[in-house]
Chain A
Amino acid sequence: MALGVALVVGISIGGFLIFSQIAASIQGNVAAAQSAVKNLIAVQSTTPVYHEQVNAPMTEPGLVGKIEQVSGVLAVQRVSYVNFNGGAIVRGGAPPIEGIDVVSGGTLMDVIGNGQAGASPYTIAQGRDLQPSDSNSAVCIIPAGYASISGIGLGQSVQENGTPFTVVGIYSVGDTYANNGGPTIVPYDPALQATLAPGPNVVYVTAATTGSVYTLVGEIQSAIGQDYEVQPVSDLGAVGNDINSIASINQEEEYVSLAVGAIVIGLVTFVVTAQRRREIGLLKLLGFTNGSIVSQLALESMLWSLLGLPIALAVSVLAGPLVLQSVQQSANAGGSGTIYSGSSAHSVSAASQFLAATFEVTPSTLLLAVLVTVCIGLVGAILPILRAARLRPAEAMRA
């Protein structure tokens, strides 16, 4: 019986560890992403822009200057989506304020791309990412698939509208379609020069604090007039829903695992104490107090529970990465969606961005496992133990 109990308790607690770690990771990443999104404001022309339309109306040249004058603006980022020859999409971007890196850095800004191309958070496979110091240089980074198909390597040039851009990096997005058709990313000013575009499609404004976003929206709107739509980027859309539902499922599974462990321990203790009624009767007969009997049984129950601890750790180490992988796959399956509710809808397929990249058992996981195991042993067993302790000695002896 000991092995069976250890196995069930171990699997339950292992499940709890896996789901709790994944759920915590998701929650943490979602919170960070939401925080990043919540203080972002998109400014663009009120002229309708369709999903497929990449050459959206440009904003007036002085717009950025007006926005920068508004109090509470931390940073302004200009982004243009333009068609180059051959269908490659260029996302231009440059830091208008010193120290703000708009083309790299791992924030949500980096996943803003063109829906058709399915731009995603990228990782640099070869070379380097674009840097703020590249603002006025004709350099670019290109997707790995395009590099492979075209036979273009680092240091070579790609022609965009007749302007040569030197390849300083090759990026990967983990998606074949995006790798092949992903945008060639160039600094903002050289991009405008190459396309002769008058200004950015969208200006992203970063608010100094999350709480001031709605005030700032009103102030920017007053400063630039009604020709522009000013909206907080606050809707995580389908991606957010996917992530939240995954997080919620994981939490449910975490609770179910805990409940299963507690129920098993409860049942085992119930059976064991029922079998040991006569022993309990004997202890009462010999003059042991209820307190000493309860503490003895509780200790035994915790030990039963702790038997499952090594199995729990083994299960979490072995099955954790597989479960994580499965969760990530399910996230990716439905993970493409809008990241803000503006008239210009940009897509991401980045749900996996919010999931834990690795699964590992840390000292805090171990401590959590021990605490949870002990608690499960106690909580599950407390009712049968109290029931047994309440037995009158004569009743227990008759069992």
Chain B
Amino acid sequence: MKITLDFIRLRHVTKTYPKTKETEEVTALDNISLRIPEGHLAAVVGESGSGKTTLLNLLGGLDRPDSGAVIVNGEDLAELGERELVRFRASRVGFVIQTYYLLPALTAWENVELAMEPNRVPSSERRERARELLKSVGLESRLNHLPGQLSGGEQQRVAIARALANRPILLLADEPTGNLDKKNRYAVLELFLRLARENKITMVVVTHDSRVSERCDLEYSLKNGKLRPTNRTSKKLAEMQAEASRSRDMAAANAQPLARPEPVPDGYESCDREEPTKGDIMP
């Protein structure tokens, strides 16, 4: 299986919230760069107000950076028009939010179906897919319950099912277990991670719960708008980079006699060859 190393690529991204009557100017993200390989689960850890949600908003096309590039699966979101961003959100991204954001007047089933409406999924398919997803999160018996009739853990499961409804390539989760009690927190987390891995979805989760970040492949910390990989992550990324380089070299060597490029061998697809610039945190 081929993996795109730069499935998510942030280059020198800065996002500042201007001064308002109530607040001073805030630089939420300060010239940050980031790479997340395809199919990996990445956690961004930081305290409240450190810019985690801003980062997630940029990755999901909910907001635009002041400067820099936000590239997801080869598309620079900063370059997309409003309609294309709407389409990107509708078809490529699944969101899970701390407060679930379920519509109170709709049943669990309808809440999941709702996510498929912008993509014009036929009604019967929507219905069936939503039922399957709710079954996969263990809520088959709660299909017709309103959010108010569900526990916090169950509501978050509905939100997870909704996030997966459009078969996204990117899953963004903002404190997905933040509102849950201890018992539910880890059950939901395990379910979430399992589904992401099973569906080979790249996932970015922002959290301040170290138990959550430890369970992810990559871990970053965000503080005062600056993003840093943990040691474990730096090491892992370096290994992946080295392996990708080796694969490229081997492919180049094999390609010499044939005088034409060979496909990259199993392992990794080509990654961004651009040299890290000053301030880039990638190894």
Contacts and interface: CB of A to CB of B under 8 A. Distances in A.
A394 B62 contact: yes
A287 B119 contact: yes
Interface in B96-127: 97, 101, 103, 114-115, 117-119
A393 B114 contact: no
B157 interface: no
Given A278-B101, A282-B103, A394-B57, A287 B118 contact: yes
A279 B103 contact: yes
Interface string B59-86: 0101100000000000000000001001
A289 interface: yes
Nearest to B97: A397
Interface centre among A278, A285, A286, A288 (most CB of B within 10 A): A286
A281 B53 CA distance: 14
Contacts of A292: 118
A51 interface: no
B114 A286 contact: yes
Contact of B60 (A278, A282, A285, A288): A285
A178 B87 CA distance: 80
B141 to A, nearest CB: 25
Nearest to A276: B103
B62 A392 contact: yes
B115 A286 contact: yes
Contacts of B118: 286-289, 292
Interface centre among A279, A289, A394 (most CB of B within 10 A): A394
Contact of B89 (A278, A279, A286): A286
B118 to A, nearest CB: 4
Contacts of B101: 278, 281-282, 285
A76 B134 CA distance: 91
Interface size class of A (residues with CB under 8 A): 10 to 19
Contacts of B86: 284, 287-289
Contact of A393 (B62, B83, B103, B119): B62
Interface in B117-143: 117-119
A285 B95 contact: yes
Interface centre among A279, A282, A284, A289 (most CB of B within 10 A): A282
B247 interface: no
B90 interface: yes
A395 B239 CA distance: 39
Contacts, number: 48
Nearest to A395: B63
Interface centre among A287, A394, A397 (most CB of B within 10 A): A287
Contact of B63 (A278, A286, A392): A392
Interface in A274-317: 278-279, 281-282, 284-289, 292
Contacts of A284: 62, 86, 89
A289 B63 contact: no
A397 B62 contact: yes
A287 B163 CA distance: 12
B214 to A, nearest CB: 27
Contacts of B114: 286
Contacts of B62: 284-285, 392-394, 397
B83 A288 contact: no
A1 to B, nearest CB: 15
A394 B61 CA distance: 9
A304 to B, nearest CB: 15
B91 A287 contact: yes
A385 B27 CA distance: 31
Contacts of B57: 393-394, 397
Contact of A287 (B89, B97, B103): B89
B133 to A, nearest CB: 15
Contacts of B95: 285-286
Nearest to B90: A287
Contacts of A288: 86, 90, 117-118
A214 B97 CA distance: 82
A281 B63 CA distance: 12
A393 B90 CA distance: 13
Given A392-B62, A394-B62, A286 B90 contact: yes
Contacts of B89: 284-287, 393
Nearest to B114: A286
A397 B97 CA distance: 10
A289 B114 CA distance: 13
A279 B102 CA distance: 8
Contacts of B63: 392-394
Contacts of A393: 57, 62-63, 89
B196 to A, nearest CB: 18
B9 to A, nearest CB: 21
Interface in B28-65: 54, 57, 60, 62-63
A394 B54 CA distance: 8
Nearest to B101: A282
A279 to B, nearest CB: 6
Contacts of B83: 289
A301 B109 CA distance: 26
A279 B147 CA distance: 14
Interface centre among A285, A289, A292 (most CB of B within 10 A): A285
A392 B86 CA distance: 11
Given A394-B54, A394-B57, 11 more contacts: A285-B89, A285-B101, A286-B89, A286-B114, A287-B86, A287-B89, A287-B118, A288-B117, A289-B86, A289-B118, A393-B57
Interface of A: 278-279, 281-282, 284-289, 292, 392-394, 397
26 contacts: A282-B103, A284-B62, A284-B89, A285-B60, A285-B95, A286-B89, A286-B90, A286-B95, A286-B115, A286-B118, A287-B86, A287-B89, A287-B118, A288-B117, A288-B118, A289-B83, A289-B118, A392-B62, A392-B63, A393-B57, A393-B62, A394-B54, A394-B57, A397-B57, A397-B62, A397-B97
Interface of B: 54, 57, 60, 62-63, 83, 86-87, 89-91, 95, 97, 101, 103, 114-115, 117-119
Closest 10 CB pairs of A and B: A287-B90, A287-B118, A394-B63, A394-B57, A393-B62, A394-B62, A287-B89, A282-B101, A286-B115, A288-B118
